[in-house]
Structure 1
Amino acid sequence: MIRRALAPAAVAVLLAACGSDTPADESADLLVTNARVVTVDDTQPEAEAVAVRGSRILAVGSAAEMEAYRGEGTEVIDADGRLVIPGFIEGHGHFTGLGDARMILDLTTVTSWEEIVDMVAAAVADAPAGTLIRGRGWHQEKWTSTPEPQVDGVPHHDALSAVSPDHPVYLTHASGHAAFVNGRALEMAGIDADTPDPAGGTIVRDASGRATGLLRETAAGLASGLGGALTPEEEEARFRRVVELAGAEALSKGVTSFHDAGTGFGTVDGYRNLADAGELPIRLYVMIRAGNEALAANLDDYRLDGHADGFLTVRSIKRSIDGALGSHGAWLLEPYDDLPSSAGLNTAPVDDVAETARLAAEHGYQLNVHAIGDRANREVLDIYERTWQAGGLDGEGLRWRIEHAQHLHPDDIPRFAELGVIAAMQGVHGTSDGPWVPEKLGALRAARGAYMWRALWDSGAIVTNGTDTPVEDVDPIASYYSMVSRMTNTGQKFHPEQALDRMESLKAYTINNAIASFQEDDLGSITPGKYADLVILSKDILAVDEAEIPSAEVDVTILGGRVAYRR
């Protein structure tokens, strides 16, 4: 039975009738008490305690009221006045990518090309000849200097190749929309002076036509299969390890549910097997990424809603129509300020994405399209509008999303709310990218169209938050702080007029992400009847000085009524 908190008088009567014992059918399995509970539920915004039975919230109220649910077997967590909030919902990330990133070179903190070369050299020393060396997370805009010769701010592969002559090297850009490879990898991939650029990608070359090693967008796929095939047993073991690592990392950061932005049918099979065995570490909302022919053949067979006690939902499709801003892959209406010869890349034909939209509508799936540049966002909004008009559909009810929505033309900002399109954004991208965005777009375009959280929110659009992990750390507190402060690593705020307030930013990470995945009846707030996914923080991020927010840590993560992480 779903119950809200009992009134104090009712609690007194119950206790008088029962003495010190609580009826077995009313006792809680878990009681979190002596807390500041911010529920993100407007019908009961704050409380002091939460009672949990099984995997769901039984009641919410004052500490005294919730004592009525304490039984002999009740586990009690005394929060000692700390903040308790709903579990964070990662609104856009790459779950297996997060786990995989823990098994390769971590390049997210490097500050120079020389540091990357040194890390690869060390990896080569420990690996047999021919072994693929992989890494992820480098970003040329974060280096203190760039060695010459270079093209578009990225050096030639020669120094890297010198330390890895017998090992192919494949280093994924932080954005995931480019890769850098060494000479051995170019050779193995068959990339030479005569290799044409693939559709939607660029083999970056120097003035002589020689490939530098930088492969943008779809060109990165030319060298992505150099590691050799694993046996089925090795593949299964590796998949389980990737899921285990990703889940542990997410739970340690307070993430209890994760929107997995782009996964093949085979990976979904793996998720389902783990879910059926009770071995998925967190809740997954999966976006299927596949070609239109495969989608048409498989969508009806893969639909899952709240499978395995809410641990696996599959009801959305992911497509990409452009690349990333940092690698000059975002599709713009006007050329880049720092690369006037280019307006970015259209990585999938508009007609092809439109066909995906038709399939999504036909099969009752949500469609979520990656669009970063203003041209890309306009094209996607147009595709959505045309699809709904052709089918006589209620777009708002479909809850289709644009993933990232990083750079918008001012004319397109109100269209999100008008059409009912969800802006699935990442706060941390705004502050991570902020120092170099004006260089790419120019000051005017950056001011009026980049990371427009406030303008979208005020227009009535649903705005969500996430990290795009492993592009960024999966840490919600960092991305929450970005959305609140717009503070960059330079100590300067990037157009702070576009910040959201603290409660809005919490909603973006909880109930808005639940709405964006059709799960608001089960997730996103501390409400009786919903899943008991809770986080206890070391600091009150809704009340401490703004500069203190990043130092808050996750003390306890509760998933489905069980403690899944304790610091």
Structure 2
Amino acid sequence: MAANSHSKAYAISTPPGSVYIVDEGDSTADCILIENGTILSVGNVEQIRKFWSDHNPSMSLKMFQTPPGSIIVPGLADAHGHILAWGTKERLPLEGCASIDDVLLKIKLYLLGHPDILHDHARWIIGMGWDQTKWPGGKFPTADDLDREPLLCGRLVLLTRVDGHACCVSNAVLSKLPKLPDTVYGGLIVRNKAGNPTGVFVDNAMDLIDRPAPTESETLENFNLAMHDALRVGLTSIHDADSSASDIAFFKRMADEGRLPIKIYLMGNVPSDDYWGPQIPRLINYGLHKRLTVRSVKLYADGALGSWGAALIAPYSDKPDTRGLLRTPPETLHRLVEQFYEDDFQVNIHAIGDRANEVVLDIFEDILNKPGADVNKWRPRVEHAQVIQRSDLERIGRLGVIASVQPTHATSDMNYAETRLGPHRVKGAYAYQTLLQASPGKRLPLGSDFPIEGINPLLGFYAAVTRRSPQGTSPHGPGGWFPAETLTRTQALKGMTSDTAYAAFSEDSLGRLAPGFAADFVVLDRDILRIPSKEILDTRVLATVVDGQVAYGSL
């Protein structure tokens, strides 16, 4: 039976101890009382009934009961995702392809199933998700590879790597480009032995490709798909980790029209080395349902490990001719961060390699040493915090800088990370338990980086607590990859609820099931904090509730 969307008050009960409050005492309860989208009380059924009758003696209380074995947790939050890109990737997803031939076959089948694109040679063919580390030989694809499929000859094709930090384009795209520069700061044009571009562009070099912007209808379609999929897997809050000025305008319009079904926290980004703060509006709990916030910016220090773009202090173990790419000169990054700090923007910086993390922490430390600087007021974040020197693992905690991490990156990368980094350096990579313990507030917000990874937060929960692939494997055996860095299930749940709320300045209203908090919660069909780990990924969402109203499923 679905809850009446117009009912202002109701209670929902579970089997004993199956409401996970996510507070400092790891408390549980049996029942929640909700009115006008806010939690009024939490306790057992008798306590809730008494509370209601004491305050509303003449009104009966609608009561819902979840099925046996089910639990209620706070609404799940993703601290790092890309909302509109999810829909773009889902049009032509290339993850799972085991070779370039698999990629070509998938594109061929896509075109045969979309005759409007097949027969319109002006249309770009855009896909995402290839990962050469899973292919024989581990080499990047090339434009010539794409031409091996007859349906692609002469077509405009752009295929983005799974990490979003490299792409491969067709010869038709290459022929449209103006004369390419010999070098690109923070980027790489991959060339063959004759010096000609192969079709692969890495990081900042990707900006040389004038790809078509999505139409308004495509943007709306991408948004609706992402919102549908988010609610289906229990997400009630997403931090969008790179929102252009036009993206922000789109989300603002959705908020004005009351079309945001979840809480959205945007990180503004403008690709410029000149200060662009005035282009980012400041919106706090904005819109018809007060679900949109813009108060932070996203900057980039480096690229990604899988495309050899993460900036390292020492050369790559498997590619000793490179140390990766700093996408922004350190002095430029420092100048931008300082200005954003002065203008009261939270600053969130992408940093994967140990060199990039060192540069970012140097900048944050310099600013936090200023008179009057308060890290709890500013809350700077390192997005990914993936490969870090031991000394910087200590420093990030000492400074109080927030490490925003994605557990599925560890399990996606674990089969090649040591090849890239070597046996010593890899020990400071994906060090989630170490980062959590270093944090003065014991906070570690968790995200997925979808569409680079799947949107289901339970994929991240499982990866965090097992350090194994969904098939149960790891390079270190069934105990998981570097098992000392696993999180407990309680820590992981906190990471995707209250810790993520803190990272968005929302810890007083989101991330817990407590009086005065928003009635954002999820009903799961089994207890992910107690079931065998192999069953976690079989868990289904029975209901996703936002501001007290059922947005997916039923009660």
Q: Residue 164 of structure 2 is aligned with which of 153, 166, 176?
A: 176
Q: Taking every aligned residue pair, what percent have the same amino acid on both sides?
A: 33
Q: Residue 463 of structure 2 is aligned with which of 473, 477, 482?
A: 482
3-state SS of the aligned residue for 2:510?
Answer: coil
CA distance in 1, matches of 2:35, 2:190: 58
Query: 2:364 aligned with 1:384, yes or no?
Result: yes
Counterpart in the other structure of 2:477? none
Counterpart in the other structure of 1:276? 256
- Structure 1 residue 31, shift from structure 2 partner: 2.0
CA distance in 1, matches of 2:93, 2:332: 35
CA distance in 2, matches of 1:513, 1:562: 22
CA deviations over 1:248-282 (Å, ceiling 9, x no partner): 11111111000000111221121111112110121
Counterpart in the other structure of 1:139? 131
C-alpha contact 1:32 1:79 (8 A) present in aligned 2: no
3-state SS of the aligned residue for 1:481?
Answer: helix
C-alpha contact 2:75 2:236 (8 A) present in aligned 1: yes
Query: 2:191 aligned with 1:205, yes or no?
Result: yes
- Structure 1 residue 316, shift from structure 2 partner: 0.5
C-alpha contact 1:248 1:281 (8 A) present in aligned 2: no
CA deviations over 1:438-476 (Å, ceiling 9, x no partner): 0100111112x1101111112235311110000000111
- Structure 1 residue 504, shift from structure 2 partner: 0.7
Counterpart in the other structure of 1:189? 177
Equivalent residue letter for 1:285: Y
CA distance in 1, matches of 2:279, 2:424: 45
Query: 2:522 aligned with 1:535, yes or no?
Result: yes
The count of aligned residue pairs is 523
- Structure 1 residue 28, shift from structure 2 partner: 5.7
CA distance in 1, matches of 2:391, 2:397: 12
- Structure 1 residue 550, shift from structure 2 partner: 1.7
3-state SS of the aligned residue for 1:262?
Answer: strand
CA distance in 2, matches of 1:566, 1:499: 32
CA distance in 2, matches of 1:34, 1:282: 24
TM-score for the superposition, normalised by structure 1: 0.88
Equivalent residue letter for 1:179: C
Equivalent residue letter for 1:400: P
3-state SS of the aligned residue for 1:346?
Answer: coil
CA deviations over 1:480-525 (Å, ceiling 9, x no partner): 1111111135712211111111101111111000111110011011
Mapping of residues 14-413 of structure 1, within 5 Å: 29-35=9-15, 36-42=18-24, 45-68=27-50, 69=52, 74=62, 76-102=64-90, 104-125=91-112, 126=115, 127=118, 128-143=120-135, 145-146=136-137, 153-163=139-149, 164-190=152-178, 195-223=181-209, 225-227=210-212, 235-290=215-270, 291=272, 293=274, 295-299=276-280, 302-308=281-287, 309-390=289-370, 392-413=372-393
After TM superposition, the structure 1 stretch with the greater mean CA deviation from structure 2, 529-538 or 488-497, is 488-497
Closer, same or farther in 2 for the Cα pair 1:58/1:111, shift >3 Å?
Answer: same
C-alpha contact 1:405 1:423 (8 A) present in aligned 2: yes
- Structure 1 residue 80, shift from structure 2 partner: 3.2
Counterpart in the other structure of 2:411? 431
CA deviations over 1:215-255 (Å, ceiling 9, x no partner): 111112222x243x67xxxx332222221111111111111
After TM superposition, the structure 1 stretch with the greater mean CA deviation from structure 2, 412-421 or 306-315, is 306-315
Closer, same or farther in 2 for the Cα pair 1:73/1:527, shift >3 Å?
Answer: closer
- Structure 1 residue 210, shift from structure 2 partner: 2.3
Q: Which runs of 5+ in 2 are unaligned?
A: 1-6, 54-58, 475-479
C-alpha contact 2:400 2:439 (8 A) present in aligned 1: no
C-alpha contact 1:467 1:473 (8 A) present in aligned 2: yes
Query: 2:471 aligned with 1:471, yes or no?
Result: no
C-alpha contact 1:90 1:257 (8 A) present in aligned 2: yes
CA deviations over 1:175-226 (Å, ceiling 9, x no partner): 00000111111112236xx642322111111212122221111112222x24
Equivalent residue letter for 1:457: L
- Structure 1 residue 81, shift from structure 2 partner: 4.1
Q: Residue 512 of structure 1 is aligned with which of 491, 499, 504?
A: 499
CA distance in 1, matches of 2:218, 2:61: 38
- Structure 1 residue 383, shift from structure 2 partner: 0.5
Closer, same or farther in 2 for the Cα pair 1:73/1:161, shift >3 Å?
Answer: farther
Closer, same or farther in 2 for the Cα pair 1:178/1:438, shift >3 Å?
Answer: same
CA deviations over 1:109-130 (Å, ceiling 9, x no partner): 2122101011223344532223
C-alpha contact 1:259 1:287 (8 A) present in aligned 2: yes
CA distance in 1, matches of 2:299, 2:492: 26
C-alpha contact 1:284 1:311 (8 A) present in aligned 2: yes
Equivalent residue letter for 1:472: E
Closer, same or farther in 2 for the Cα pair 1:236/1:159, shift >3 Å?
Answer: closer
3-state SS of the aligned residue for 1:463?
Answer: coil
Equivalent residue letter for 1:425: V
- Structure 1 residue 78, shift from structure 2 partner: 2.9
Query: 2:400 aligned with 1:420, yes or no?
Result: yes
- Structure 1 residue 294, shift from structure 2 partner: 5.6
CA deviations over 1:348-375 (Å, ceiling 9, x no partner): 1112211221122111111000000000
Counterpart in the other structure of 1:7? none
Equivalent residue letter for 2:366: R
Closer, same or farther in 2 for the Cα pair 1:264/1:468, shift >3 Å?
Answer: same
Closer, same or farther in 2 for the Cα pair 1:438/1:337, shift >3 Å?
Answer: same
CA distance in 2, matches of 1:552, 1:566: 14
- Structure 1 residue 392, shift from structure 2 partner: 4.0
CA distance in 1, matches of 2:483, 2:170: 41
3-state SS of the aligned residue for 2:369?
Answer: helix
Equivalent residue letter for 2:203: E
C-alpha contact 2:142 2:169 (8 A) present in aligned 1: no
3-state SS of the aligned residue for 1:208?
Answer: coil
3-state SS of the aligned residue for 1:285?
Answer: strand
C-alpha contact 1:93 1:259 (8 A) present in aligned 2: yes
C-alpha contact 1:28 1:58 (8 A) present in aligned 2: no
C-alpha contact 1:531 1:561 (8 A) present in aligned 2: yes
CA distance in 2, matches of 1:170, 1:315: 33
Equivalent residue letter for 1:86: P
Runs of 4+ in 1 over 6 A off after TM superposition: none
Closer, same or farther in 2 for the Cα pair 1:504/1:226, shift >3 Å?
Answer: closer
CA distance in 1, matches of 2:192, 2:317: 20
Counterpart in the other structure of 1:457? 436
C-alpha contact 2:174 2:199 (8 A) present in aligned 1: yes
CA distance in 2, matches of 1:253, 1:38: 18
Equivalent residue letter for 1:158: D
- Structure 1 residue 54, shift from structure 2 partner: 1.3
Q: Residue 542 of structure 2 is aligned with which of 550, 555, 558?
A: 555
CA distance in 2, matches of 1:306, 1:562: 18
Closer, same or farther in 2 for the Cα pair 1:282/1:292, shift >3 Å?
Answer: farther
C-alpha contact 1:117 1:160 (8 A) present in aligned 2: yes
CA distance in 1, matches of 2:211, 2:233: 33
C-alpha contact 1:124 1:167 (8 A) present in aligned 2: no
Q: Which runs of 5+ in 1 are unaligned?
A: 1-26, 147-151
Closer, same or farther in 2 for the Cα pair 1:30/1:185, shift >3 Å?
Answer: farther
